[in-house]
Amino acid sequence: MRQNERLLLVLAGLAVTGALFVPAIPQDLAYHRFADGTARFGIPHFWNVVSNLPFFVIGLAGLLEVYRGRPAILAEFRVAYLIFFAGVALLGPGSAYYHLNPNNATLVWDRLPMTIAFMALFAIVVAEYLSVPLGRRLLWPLLAIGVVSVFYWDFTEARSRGDLRLYGLVQFLPMVLIPPILLLFRPRFGGTAYLWAVLGAYAAAKAAELLDEPIFRMFHPLSGHALKHLLAAFGVYIFLAAIRRRSAVSPSPVSRHEKETL
């Protein structure tokens, strides 16, 4: 194992170890109280509901592109791209269902497709930057961990001892590990700017979520949470646009450290 790979393992190990020493984190019920509760056309929380439509549209477009074999992807890892875009497409109705009646029970159907998309994307990055066999080995365990994290949180909430730690790792650990992967390893496809843009869109979406009420006061009827949906969907669109246009640069990924020692 090379130094760059050891660094990734250390970062992952520190994150997992840190999560084990943090007390269980229950779901804050205030999370379900969004700034915009306005009903329109008989739909409660209208903008928070309909702002999920781009997820469905972009996810479906990505599914069709991959199914037809048009974009530049790892053909031998095609299933991961299909799962990623399927997770995004399912996030549209899943999140819309949650926002019709925000509570812990409906939140499960928002978080479940989200974890599927997160885990599939991380496996894709591993395959494109480290190795396809490693991406293959990680894909199904990562998806299983993602699904378990949601149902584990739901199980603990139902017993009044909610624990979000595993779900938090599933959502945030890939976003911590992807930047060093982009910096330390050479991709199979040209350019990394689009993945930095995806990460930027995700960070902006999380910021908009935290600023839900201030954004709603300033840009009514747009709320921070509705903006979060739009920014996150835009990040997926960036990924879709990139795989339509990029081109292969090498038959196998080589780390920058390896390249320097050749």
Q: Let me know if residue 22 belongs to a domain.
A: no
pLDDT value of residue 2: 77
Q: pLDDT band for position 192 (50/70/90)?
A: confident
Task: Classify residue 15: in a domain, yes or no.
Answer: no
Tokens of 69: 């074999």
Helix, strand, or coil (residue 255): strand
241 falls within a domain: yes
Q: Would you put residue 248 in left (φ > 0), alpha (ψ -120 to 50) or beta?
A: beta
- As a whole number, mean pLDDT of residues 52-76 equals 92
Task: Quick: pLDDT tens for 12-44.
Answer: 888 888 888 889 999 999 999 999 988 899 999
Per-residue model confidence (pLDDT) at position 66: 93
Q: Would you state the pLDDT for residue 11?
A: 87
Quote the pTM value: 0.90
**pLDDT score of 1:** 57
Is the model's pLDDT at 238 over the cut of 50?
yes
Helical (H) or strand (E) element with 251: none
| Residue 34, in any domain of the structure | no
C-beta of residue 212 within 8 angstroms of C-beta of residue 223: yes
Looking at the structure of the chain, the number of domains it has is 1
Q: What is the CATH number of the domain that holds 156?
A: 1.20.1070.10
Average confidence (pLDDT) over 146-156 = 96
- Owning domain of residue 162: 45-256
Under 8 Å CB-to-CB from 43, ≥6 apart: which residues?
49, 50, 100
Q: Answer yes or no: is 36 within a domain.
A: no
3-state SS class at 51: coil
In a domain, 209, yes or no: yes
Q: Please check whether residue 10 lies inside any domain of the structure.
A: no
**What span, in angstroms and rounded, lies between the C-alpha atoms of 103 and 34?**
11
HEC sequence for 82-103: HHHHHHHHHHHHHHHHHHHCCC
Mean pLDDT of the chain: 90
Kindly tell me if the per-residue pLDDT of 255 is higher than 60: no
Maximum C-alpha span of the chain: 65
Q: Tens of pLDDT along 163-172?
A: 999 999 998 8
**Domain annotation covers residue 20:** no
For Cα atoms 114, 54, 144, give the angle at the middle one, nearest 5 degrees: 15
